[in-house]
């Protein structure tokens, strides 16, 4: 094999290596782009799931708060009703006592 033949084969080999490197770079870029898209999709799906979970927890908390407020209001109404009923039952006695005190003050006055 002559010098020119060896140089020709070296050039052919260099061209094949260059083509292989270019193809490998294109494949690497393609894989990286797909990985980025997959990563972004995965992150987006994760954020969507987190948003959904946060919303569910918020709704549960809001409902629990509403029930607690409603229960406290009802308890307060019951206390007011009991105290009102107690006051109504004591009203005649209080009126009688006021009349007695008024009569005393008028007779002593």
User: How confident is residue 106, by pLDDT bands cut at 50, 70 and 90?
Assistant: confident
Reported pTM: 0.53
| pLDDT of res. 14 | 96
What is the per-residue pLDDT for 71? 97
Q: What pLDDT digit, counting tens, does each position of 33-59 carry?
A: 999 999 999 999 999 999 999 999 999
Q: Is 94 buried (19+), middle (13-18) or exposed (0-12) by CB count in 10 A?
A: exposed
- Determine the Cα–Cα distance for residues 8 and 1; give it in Å rounded to an integer: 11
- Under the banding of pLDDT at 50, 70 and 90, the label for residue 108 is confident
């Amino acid at each position: 094999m002559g010098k020119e033949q060896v140089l020709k084969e070296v050039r052919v080999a260099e061209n094949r290596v260059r083509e292989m490197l270019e193809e490998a770079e294109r494949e690497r870029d393609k894989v990286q782009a797909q990985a980025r898209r997959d990563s972004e999709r995965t992150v987006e799906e994760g954020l969507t799931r987190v948003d959904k979970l946060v919303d569910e927890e918020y709704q549960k908390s809001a409902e629990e708060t509403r029930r607690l407020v409603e229960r406290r209001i009802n308890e307060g109404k019951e206390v007011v009703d009991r105290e009102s009923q107690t006051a109504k039952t004591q009203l005649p006695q209080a009126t009688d006592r006021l009349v007695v005190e008024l009569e005393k003050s008028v007779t002593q006055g």
